[in-house]
Chain A
Amino acid sequence: EDQVTQSPEALRLQEGESSSLNCSYTVSGLRGLFWYRQDPGKGPEFLFTLYSAGEEKEKERLKATLTKKESFLHITAPKPEDSATYLCAVSDSNYQLIWGAGTKLIIKP
Chain B
Amino acid sequence: DSGVTQTPKHLITATGQRVTLRCSPRSGDLSVYWYQQSLDQGLQFLIHYYNGEERAKGNILERFSAQQFPDLHSELNLSSLELGDSALYFCASSASGGLVLNEQFFGPGTRLTVL
Q: Which residues of A contact B (CB under 8 A)?
A: 31-32, 34, 36, 41-46, 49, 51, 87, 91, 94-97, 99-102
Contacts and interface: CB of A to CB of B under 8 A. Distances in A.
Interface stretch (B14-22, B65-73, B75-83, B105-113): B105-113
Given A49-B101, A91-B101, A97 B106 contact: no
B11 interface: no
Interface string B94-105: 001011110111
A52 B29 CA distance: 25
B64 interface: no
Contacts, number: 54
Query: Interface range on chain B: under 10, 10 to 19, 20 to 34, or 35 or more?
Result: 20 to 34
B111 to A, nearest CB: 7
A99 B42 contact: yes
A24 to B, nearest CB: 15
Contacts of B2: 43, 45-46
Contact of A95 (B42, B43, B101, B106): B101
Interface string B37-78: 000011101000000000010000000000000000000000
Nearest to A47: B103
Contact of B109 (A34, A41, A45): A41
Contacts of A102: 42
Contact of A43 (B45, B99, B106): B106
B43 A46 contact: no
A42 B109 CA distance: 7
